[in-house]
Amino acid sequence: MSWGLIIGAIAFWLGAWALNVWLANRFPASRIVRFFVPVLFGVTLLVLWEGIARGANIPPILLPPPSMIWTKLTTSLDILRADFVQTFLKSALAGYGMGCAAAFLVALAIDRSPFLQKGLVPVGNFVAALPIIGIAPIMVMWFGFDWQSKAAVVVVMCFFPMLVNTVEGLKASEVMQRDLMHTYAGSYWQGLTKLRLPAAMPFIFNGLKICSTLALIGAIVAEFFGTPTVGMGFRISTEVGRMNIDMVWAEIAMAALAGSLFYGIISLIERAVTFWHPSIRS
């Protein structure tokens, strides 16, 4: 146990925290501060982790320090890339696309029937709260070990949150606005494309964002139930078995990065599409 490292890390943490408090209270509106404060907080967490993991001599099998994970990550890029392609590009993205598109089309279809809406929305809400990940073994049985079964899990996981959100969104336009479309003699499709779909976009993007994290989780967890010898979920479960915890953390860092980027890209598209919404304009 080397107390110097631990005390140093804690001192760094306290100093950074004091700086953050000072910055946040001094320049609350500044853009740079708004960016800098959370970044400093993240760096502090890493320093604290590194200091405690090294200082307290925690065996790397339990908690490897960030520097060790970084070396592992940079030295095994090939494996990580193969896993990324298999899990993210093939399973998660394919399933995400199919699930969200299907839910969107179904929402458009049932939007014309209040009866179906009243019936499907509560069922959809119910299913959205269920542990859908449990169908993973069934899908592996039906669609085989490769990415198709993972994509199927992701499709089912994404379908209901997306459906519920889209149906909500299609109701978001106001009566007054719909009446205006009516007085313009707008057809159903004109009303849909020019008023109701744009008005539904905040809800649709909310669904897309929820599904983006679900998709990655679904793809990775489904791999625990059977997979070819590639993929993030496969790597995590086998490397845990071989006690290569640094490799597992590298894979996690990869997954977190991919998940955050995916979420970020969707948020960027959202900002561009729903530029008129009060939450973006303010």
Partner 1 sequence: MTKRPGMLTRAKGAALPVLTVVAVIFMVWYAAAAILNLPWERDQAERAKVEFILTDALSNTMSQERPVLPAPHQVAQEIWKTTVQKKITSKRSLIYHGWITLSATLLGFLFGTILGLALAIGIVYNRAMDMSVMPWVIASQTIPILAIAPMIIVVLNAVGVSGLLPKAFISTYLAFFPIVVGMVKGLRSPDTLQTDLMRTYNASASQTFWKLRLPTSMPYLFASMKVAVAASLVGAIVGELPTGAVAGLGARLLAGSYYGQTIQIWSALICAAILAASLVAIVGLIGRIVERQMGFAR
Binding site for partner 1 (CB under 8 A): 17, 20-21, 23-25, 28, 33-34, 37-38, 40-42, 45, 61-63, 115-120, 122-123, 126, 129-131, 133-138, 140-142, 168, 213, 216-217, 220-221, 224-226, 232-233, 236-237, 240, 245, 248, 252, 255-256, 259-260, 262-263
Q: Using DSSP, how many helices (H) and how many strands (E) does the chain show? A: 14, 0
Please spell the DSSP secondary structure of 42-93, one letter per residue: HHHHHHHHHHHHHHTT--TTT---HHHHHHHHHHTHHHHHHHHIIIIIIIIH
Alpha carbon distance 190, 67 (integer Å): 57
Nearest distance from C-beta of residue 193 to partner 1, angstroms: 25
For residues 56 and 182, which CB has a smaller minimum distance to partner 1 in the complex? 56
Nearest distance from C-beta of residue 248 to partner 1, angstroms: 5
Nearest distance from C-beta of residue 179 to partner 1, angstroms: 24
For residues 10 and 180, which CB has a smaller minimum distance to partner 1 in the complex? 10
For residues 40 and 98, which CB has a smaller minimum distance to partner 1 in the complex? 40
226: left (phi over 0), alpha (psi -120 to 50) or beta: left
* CA–centroid distance for 49 within its chain: 24
For residues 137 and 186, which CB has a smaller minimum distance to partner 1 in the complex? 137
